[in-house]
Amino acid sequence: MESGIRPYIAHVDEAPVEAWDGIVSWRTLFSADRTPTAGMTVGVAEIPVGGTVDGAEHRHDQHEVYFVLSGSGRVLLDGSWHTVSRGATVFVPGGTHHCVENTGDEPLELLYVLDADSFHEVEYVFPDEGRSDIDRAAPA
């Protein structure tokens, strides 16, 4: 085993809540800068009912997977919207412009997996505002 990496169990209720512009909140479960893990960053995100996607479309170099845990919505992938609901799994190739919108009447909760050792390795690029790097709030 690589130095510092070991079997590890995380619990979503013990991870701090982080948020981005009121659009989405998330709890990071595995990230090499926080946990003795490597090769992927994993967490659970929640998108509120009626939340906006204005300014949320982004891309990053890493591949990403979403698994919808609850709720329903749609995913934008390179300009095309796709409906998702509980049990749907989405693969987002690196470089793909994407975002997720809640279209249901309950929070949309999804598990995300990024092809990165650490969340901090992921550089978010926002085409509408020219922003890069997500504005990460302190844990709530």
Taking the domains of the chain in order of start, what are their residue ranges?
A: 21-119
- Check residue 1 and give its pLDDT: 58
Model confidence at 129, in pLDDT bands (50, 70, 90)? low
Of the two residues 29 and 58, the one the predictor is more confident about is: 29
Q: Which CATH class is domain 21-119?
A: mainly beta
Q: Are 65 and 50 in contact (CB under 8 A)?
A: no
> Is the confidence at residue 134, as pLDDT, over 50?
no
> Is the confidence at residue 45, as pLDDT, over 60?
yes
How far apart CA 54 and CA 49 sit, in angstroms, is 14
How far apart CA 132 and CA 45 sit, in angstroms, is 20
Model's pTM, two decimal places? 0.87
> Is the confidence at residue 139, as pLDDT, over 50?
no
- Check residue 137 and give its pLDDT: 33
